[in-house]
Structure 1
């Protein structure tokens, strides 16, 4: 084996299952070095040891860490792994205690994100959930440096504002944007999304729990003509049928989440059923105003496969049965388990012959 060069060892390691390559790295120093050069994915479990093991893996494609990563760590990662394309930092909290009160401090800020943007210009997917010190400066640097960025997850990042959204809107490659729980975003931010370069590329948008937006901002989303997935779950009482009807203009939409929008009624459902011909799944959980009239509107829909009607108290079994029997594309229907006792066994059997009932 000592006569084998790095190329031959690399070919041998390619024949070994990925989960077994770590064992192969213990054969000798050469195998350890070559295994490190071949490694493309790394999950960091001990951030405190990052500087000792990361230099072995200069060709990493994807790096994942749940906690303990700091700005200095990100600077080191950017210098060590310039070819990184996927960065997943999905937890982002560590705790300290002061004066018997628990404080939550975030170890990553705009400084760390700017360092990543400068050193890793091939980034395509960045997941930064629960990073409360990430704001406009870091996001702007990322957008300006990462010309191939397609996925950006900023869910529950408390400092993301309309100004950060304006920077994001300038992206010419972004396809998936998650702003779940970014409660500082308003209609002004949505206006930036609707007029920026991202209107031509954005396919998936999550605005769940962005409770400062209203019908005006949601109506502007009609300009995102390529949008395929949209979540407006728990966006608050400012979103009514005016915004719901406007969503009906997004002809490419396949997945739509209206859960817990208490001011959405049958008017919105009629518009959605009539205009969204490509809709595959619709979530109406907790929409208390909808009735059988809105549900029956989907009876002749040609592509709908999943309909979620949990906590829809004004929808009756007869409405669901008629819609299911006439909507030939339907495969799943989620129903409130409390409705089960009000539906006859025969009715449940009739529905089950056409699609699967999932009780929640």
Structure 2
């Protein structure tokens, strides 16, 4: 049985949601999938009702239920022991104590989303690795207190991990990538946007050990160079989506290696190169070999021209190219000079 907060007819909006959901829990004891995303007035008492009456719950989405606390997780752990998916994104009252209570009772968790749970720190990850050995997907976006120590512990206890989001965990270094490489060979998705301390050395080791990588978000990993692309092109033939936006050391040569690789020829669907200032029209010529490419982002690639995009699209007419050509301001001249040219954002 599946229930969503959008299901009209199931919710009498004239009733307080707390009372309604308590009544719902009492009368729908076979519920397995419950979506309460955005129900901001829900409190811990709702979760206690679910714990008491809905022992068959497998999938629970509490995104942005900002009033719930660690007490909710304690209740869930006691009554919903079959839980496999839990989304607690932006529930910013949750701390390591709540995570410990949760994972002690819900050891079969396969997906745990903790985006924006800004109070979480390394101790929370140590609790997860102690109890959640079946974990496949973990999202820690904007959990800025997390450090390498927590990620290393997590990887050692969760070898089945396939998807990990570390975006916004700005203190992480190559030690985290090393732990992933040595412990999580099934990794398919890595999101590490704004992790500005990560380098080619870490991604080289990751690529050489995690051959199933399909999606990588490396936006603002400002230290990486073409070497990372070379290693991905050699060792990661399943790569389908790659974001390199604001990676300003990437050049046409890196794109050449990527486009000539098995993933470039067969799998690559999305490539984001916004603010890659060294990329030129030569890179677009290389990308003509990527016959499966569906979307290309080129905002503020100052050396890419309209003519270059047009030539590429003649070879790949199905690809969506998003580009921005900044206004051109002519040199200051006596008498005011000529008119300013403004070429606006275009989808080509």
Q: CA 1:116/1:313 → structure 2, altered by over 3 Å: closer, same or farther? A: same
Residue 198 (structure 2) pairs with residue 213 (structure 1) = yes
Q: Which residue of 1 aligns with 2:280?
A: 291
Q: In structure 1, what is the Cα distance between the partners aligned to 2:324 and 2:24?
A: 57
| SS of the residue 1:248 aligns to | helix
Residue 66 (structure 2) pairs with residue 49 (structure 1) = no
Q: Which residue of 2 aligns with 1:188?
A: 175
**1:318 shift after superposition:** 1.8
**1:165 shift after superposition:** 1.7
Q: In structure 2, what is the Cα distance between the partners aligned to 1:68 and 1:32?
A: 19
Q: In structure 1, what is the Cα distance between the partners aligned to 2:326 and 2:53?
A: 57
Q: How does 1:253-292 map to 2 (within 5 A)?
A: 253-275=239-261, 276-277=264-265, 278-292=267-281
Task: Name the Cα RMSD after superposition.
Answer: 3.0
Residue 75 (structure 2) pairs with residue 82 (structure 1) = no
**Ranges of 4+ aligned residues in structure 1 off by more than 6 Å:** 29-32, 339-343
**1:159 shift after superposition:** 2.0
| SS of the residue 2:190 aligns to | strand
Alignment gaps of 5+ in structure 2: 13-18, 329-340
TM-score w.r.t. structure 2 length?
Answer: 0.81
TM-score w.r.t. structure 1 length?
Answer: 0.78
8 A Cα contact 2:169 2:195, kept in partner: yes
Which of 125, 137, 149 is equivalent to 2:135?
149
8 A Cα contact 1:161 1:184, kept in partner: yes
Q: In structure 1, what is the Cα distance between the partners aligned to 2:230 and 2:160?
A: 28
Residue-by-residue CA offset, 1:260-287 (whole Å, 9 max, x unaligned): 1111111111111111331111000110
The number of equivalent residue pairs is: 314
Residue 184 (structure 2) pairs with residue 174 (structure 1) = no
Q: Which residue of 2 aligns with 1:120?
A: 106
Q: CA 1:159/1:224 → structure 2, altered by over 3 Å: closer, same or farther? A: same
8 A Cα contact 2:112 2:137, kept in partner: yes
8 A Cα contact 1:298 1:327, kept in partner: no
Q: CA 1:128/1:18 → structure 2, altered by over 3 Å: closer, same or farther? A: same
Q: CA 1:65/1:56 → structure 2, altered by over 3 Å: closer, same or farther? A: farther
**1:169 shift after superposition:** 2.2
Q: In structure 2, what is the Cα distance between the partners aligned to 1:52 and 1:239?
A: 47
Q: Which residue of 2 aligns with 1:64?
A: 62
Q: In structure 1, what is the Cα distance between the partners aligned to 2:201 and 2:215?
A: 20
Q: In structure 2, what is the Cα distance between the partners aligned to 1:37 and 1:212?
A: 47
Pick which of 215-224 and 310-319 moved more.
Answer: 215-224
8 A Cα contact 1:134 1:160, kept in partner: yes
Q: CA 1:225/1:39 → structure 2, altered by over 3 Å: closer, same or farther? A: closer
Q: In structure 1, what is the Cα distance between the partners aligned to 2:170 and 2:137?
A: 20
